[in-house]
Amino acid sequence: MTPAERQRRQRRQRRTALAVGLAATVVLAASLVGRAPADAQGDLVAKGRQLYLQGCVSCHGRDGEGVGRGSETRGPSLTMAGEAGAYYQLSTGRMPLNDPDQEPHRSEPAYDAAAIRALTAYVASLGEGPDLPVVALSGADLAEGGATFRSNCQACHSATGAGGALSYGRAAPSLGAAEREDIAAAVRAGPGQMPVFSPKTIDRRELRDLVAYVRYLRSPRDRGGLPIGRVGPVPEGFVAWSVGIVLLLACVYWIGTRSPIRRRRPGGHDDGVATTAGVSEQ
């Protein structure tokens, strides 16, 4: 072998080694990228199932199929609750209930954020329920959000988001404590008597504007004067009415005490005839 040949062969060998190394790296990276999220998701679901078996199984069954039927129901099936439904119930502290007959309402969450993520992933894996939308508020349009709110939410939650009684069943709660994800989850999940709003009714952009508007309702600018607790037009009217009546009574009293009839009384013309006479004298 001539030195030139040897050099060429060495170069070829080096190139082959480099190519093999590169290929191995690519394969390794691809397998990491491809498998890591799936594995992480699998781990999360497994962790969620563990928590589920401790805290939820007694009312929702071993695989989320629900327990009991009719008036004997301990808990409904979770197969259609989805990521949004589970997140809503857990992040607003409604689940786990202590007693199946208790009415769920907002309270301190029983689980921390990591446990909520795991439980949510597990419940989502049970069926084809709605996903929890990711909402970024940058560029949100408050006016658009207000319009969506008035046409879809105001009837139950009131114009100020203070909530209100429903003509059937339970009251719609105040929106004052709802965080961004809670609002998005409620919209997609439609908990209790609230309707489900799918992306067909309220699309991603509308949802972003709506969430921004609901958050804005917590501290709106009061351009009309005193907010009076922002309880709405009927109690506001009542306040105006009460203040008005008191002013009116004060006026009547003032006019009454200044009238000649009252001023003449100490003079002895106490009876009705004399008083009438007193008036006719004027």
The residues of the shown chain that bind ligand HEC, judged by CB under 6 A, are: 55-56, 58-60, 74-76, 78, 80-81, 85-86, 89-90, 92, 94-97, 99-100, 104, 106, 119, 123, 152-153, 155-157, 170, 172-173, 175, 177-178, 182-183, 186-187, 191-195, 197, 210, 214
Output the smallest distance, CB 236 to ligand HEC, in A. 23
Beta carbon of residue 40, minimum distance to ligand HEC (angstroms, whole number): 20
Taking the complex as a whole, how short is the minimal distance between the CB of residue 156 and ligand HEC, in angstroms?
A: 3
Q: What is the 3-state secondary structure (H, E, C) of the chain?
A: CCHHHHHHHHHHHHHHHHHHHHHHHHHHHHHHHHHHHHHHHHHHHHHHHHHHHHHCHHHHCCCCCCECCHHHCCECCCCCCHHHHHHHHHHCCCCCCCCCCCCCCCCCCCCCHHHHHHHHHHHHCCCCCCCCCCCCCCCCCHHHHHHHHHHHCHHHHCCCCCCECCCCCCCECCCCCCCHHHHHHHHHHCCCCCCCCCCCCCCHHHHHHHHHHHHHCCCCCCCCCCCHHHCCHHHHHHHHHHHHHHHHHHHHHHHHHHCHHHHHHHHCCCCHHHHHHHHHHC
Which residue, 133 or 173, is less far from ligand HEC as judged by CB?
173
Nearer to ligand HEC, 95 or 140 (CB): 95
Output the smallest distance, CB 204 to ligand HEC, in A: 14
Q: Toward ligand HEC, which CB reaches closer, 203 or 248?
A: 203
Of the pair 147, 274, the CB lying nearest ligand HEC is at 147
**Least distance CB 199 / ligand HEC (angstroms):** 12
Q: Which is nearer to ligand HEC, 105 or 262 (CB)?
A: 105
